[in-house]
Amino acid sequence: MPKKIKLRCIILEGKDLVYIFSDGSSLGNPGPGGYGVLLRFKKYEKEIKKGYILTTNNRMELLGAITGLELLKKSYKVILITDSRYVVDGINLGWARKWQSNNWMKNNKDKAKNVDLWERLLKQTNRHDITFQWTAGHSGHEENERSDQLATSAANGSNLIEDTGFEK
């Protein structure tokens, strides 16, 4: 699968596409966590990472994707590649929109988690034309490996901040 994604990047190169590779990490779940983002547009590349004192892996996966999208100053066609099924399936299978339409309740009547972040991500899906693609983690996909390194480094960092939306 990683080679297929790399090939697609080569085929689409030169168009006004933004590529976002994101990953999240937590050391314990909950525990200290971080996200890492590798953003590419034409010949430009930017790396972003941030760490949090107490959070979950899923929150960091969401926040990585959101951060990459929110950095874009105008509307773009985006290919967002992550190893998080939670993020990809939440959008591609329509879970997040369904939860939103049910006042953030899941089918089993439990409250959906990470509502603050899903709202931000859904806002970005209205702003950009985004293709969410899943890739297997730790499988040699160069950009995913880099975003994982950034996320892990952020989670292990000394300048951790509070995840104000995290509900214990």
| Residues identified as active-site | 23-24, 61, 83, 138, 148
Across-strand partners of 23?
36
H helix intervals, the chain: 2-12, 57-70, 85-92, 95-101, 115-127, 142-155
Q: Take residue 57 and report the two structure tokens written for it.
A: 């892996």
Instruction: Give the whole-angstrom CA distance, residue 164 versus residue 108.
Output: 27
